Amino acid sequence: MPPSPSVEIKGFLETSFLDWPGQVASVLFLGGCNFRCPFCHNAGLVLSPDAFPTLSWDWIKARLSRFKGWLDGVVITGGEPTLHQGLGLLIEEIRGLGLRIKLDTNGTRPSVLSDLLGQKLLDHVAMDVKAPLDDLAYARAAGRAGYLDLVKTSLQTLKASGVPYTLRTTIVPGLHTEDDLLTLAGQLGPHPDWLLQRFQPDHALDPALRLEKPMDPDDFQALARRIEDSRLGLTLPAPAPTNSFPSEERTAMQEVASLVAG
């Protein structure tokens, strides 16, 4: 069955070595998002997805079929892919080509995530964790209030799934303090892979943030190291939570620090 037309594919990158570490992947960009993160690099895709032409799935499928021998899988990103009703059908079509799937999500649709995981349609999930897990901090970083419980549920769902997953946090000067990140490190506990990404001011959704100076790379690495040390120093797992399109994306993904707790 073809994917529903409700899946509006707004961008297609045939080959990426960055979006699924260790894998050669194509990337599909879906429009629209329920967050308004002030540091978002894909503002156009979030704010005005209809300004971008919807790409033909038949054309993309033909390209994937042609190159699948060189690909490990497909990354589905956004925007927020789980907002699209036809996502499961789209994934089934891609898996029918013999390709694996990584899903990027902001974690606000745990029921969708749970369904996809339950159907064994996902091989890897990368979920954003925008800020410490308290309502005010999260709303400030996400640009929308009222989603934290859903994000916590998605975290629990991922932890219980057995599917490899990565958590991602973009460090934004003026939005995150070191204490914020240490708090978040304690909340996430020592187990997940956690990528810290260095904020890139160019093209930020909030025009005021475009004037911010990016964090010095050495300072960023030093901060990442201090946070990693704090995570490795945990003697007990922290309690479980209760309850640019391509060019910009490439830049952001090149500046990450991987925090892998042992």
175 binds ligand SF4 (CB under 6 A): no
- Among positions 13, 37, 94, 116, the unique one binding ligand SF4 when judged by CB under 6 A: 37
Please state, as a whole number, how many other Cβ atoms lie within 10 Å of the Cβ of residue 97.
Answer: 12
Stretch near ligand SF4 under the rule CB under 6 A, chosen from 77-85, 159-167, 192-200, 210-218 = 77-85
CA–CA distance, 170 with 196 (Å, rounded to integer): 6
CA–CA distance, 75 with 122 (Å, rounded to integer): 10
Minimal CA–CA distance to 37: which of 26, 49, 28, 46?
Answer: 46
153 binds ligand SF4 (CB under 6 A): no
CB of 164 to ligand SF4, least distance (A): 20
35 binds ligand SF4 (CB under 6 A): yes
- Among positions 28, 33, 121, 181, the unique one binding ligand SF4 when judged by CB under 6 A: 33
- Among positions 73, 79, 173, 189, the unique one binding ligand SF4 when judged by CB under 6 A: 79
The per-residue b/e assignment along 41-51, b for 16 or more CB within 10 angstroms, e otherwise, is: bbbbbbeebee
- Residues 6 or more apart whose Cβ sits within 8 Å of residue 170: 37, 39, 128, 130, 196, 197, 198, 199, 252
Considering beta carbons, is residue 93 or 170 the nearer one to ligand SF4? Answer: 170
Interaction mask 88-127, ligand SF4, x per CB under 6 A? ------------------x---------------------
